[in-house]
Structure 1
Amino acid sequence: MITIAKVIATAALLLAAGRPIHAETTTQFLPIKNEPAPKLVVDQPLAGPLASRAVAIIPYRTENFRILPIFGASASDVSPRAGHLHVSIDEQPWRWADAGGTGAIVLTALPSGEHRVLIEMATPEHEVLGGKVVKFTVPAINSAHH
């Protein structure tokens, strides 16, 4: 039996994904037995923007996991899995959640020097499923050219 919470969560997912709400499309959100594990792939920041403007554009992609702006217990029962990213910089005690699914984390105004960015996949209830660390150096930018 489908609960109201599951129906609402499914409708929210469909709207967030830009899909029309039809009965035949909701089947893609039913639990799948033996669903493959989610995977996060993170690349190094793009060299051009990092060197010329001190902007770290860190490309990422997920497998068996979709980045959507959904939160709460009822959203954890959908399939394929959905959630958001937790991002932290230089082991600071604060972090933020990225639920936009843009395929890139963009960091600006980082001081020159070494940096460490932790990107983690998290369920709608903030349970971390895995993560990757990206280490890079922001070069000193000659301010006379900007």
Structure 2
Amino acid sequence: MTTILLAAGTPIYAQTPQHAATQFLPIKNEPAPKLFVDQPLPRPLITRGVAIIPYRAENFRILPIFGAGATDISPRAGHLHVSIDDLPWRRADAGGTGAIVLTGLPPGEHKVLIEIATPEHQVLGGKVVKFTVPAIDSSHL
């Protein structure tokens, strides 16, 4: 417990948090990052064929930082790698928007791999989402 004295000499007692996490001080022994990925939102997928895939990261911030100079940032930060249908390329997402948005996917089954990556692209973990893009009748749009 921390004691703070006001100018009048009246003590104020403040609880010191056990795990005070702040972006202003490094965190020692950070817990492992966790990635949570949901299925695409049903309405945009069914009505427009747009896959909006919500995600959330714990113990990890999604920021537009890359390279060796960014590896010592605390709390831990990095970006996402997004792979679609086992294609040989992938995209990086550093926006931290809480959702991956995919448009223009052809109707049918799709698989999206979303991975947490360090500023130097070391993958720390990932999740796979499988879904079906329905055939959309554009005459009703």
Q: Alignment partner for residue 99 of structure 1, among 85, 94, 102?
A: 94
Q: Could you say if the C-alpha distance between residues 29 and 129 of structure 1 is closer, same or farther in structure 2, counting changes exceeding 3 Å?
A: farther
Q: Alignment partner for residue 118 of structure 1, among 113, 118, 124?
A: 113
Residue 145 (str. 1) matches residue 134 (str. 2): no
Q: Which runs of 5+ in 2 are unaligned?
A: 1-21
Aligned residues: 120
Taking the aligned partners of 2:30 and 2:130, their CA distance within structure 1 comes to 31
* 2:60 match: 65
Larger proportion of helix: 1
Q: Could you say if the C-alpha distance between residues 144 and 117 of structure 1 is closer, same or farther in structure 2, counting changes exceeding 3 Å?
A: same
Q: What code does the residue aligned with 2:30 have?
A: E
RMSD after superposition = 1.1
Residue 47 of structure 2 aligns to a residue whose secondary structure is: helix
* 2:4 match: none
Taking the aligned partners of 2:134 and 2:42, their CA distance within structure 1 comes to 11
Tell me if structure 2 keeps the 8 A contact 1:29–1:80.
no
Q: Alignment partner for residue 39 of structure 1, among 34, 41, 47?
A: 34
> CA offsets, 1:1-21, max 9 Å, x none?
xxxxxxxxxxxxxxxxxxxxx
Larger proportion of strand: 2
> CA offsets, 1:92-125, max 9 Å, x none?
0011100000000000011000000000000000
Taking the aligned partners of 2:78 and 2:96, their CA distance within structure 1 comes to 10
> CA offsets, 1:22-58, max 9 Å, x none?
xxxxx73543222110000000000000000000000
Taking the aligned partners of 1:46 and 1:93, their CA distance within structure 2 comes to 26
TM-score (norm 2): 0.82
Q: Which runs of 5+ in 1 are unaligned?
A: 1-26
Query: Percent same amino acid at aligned positions?
Result: 82
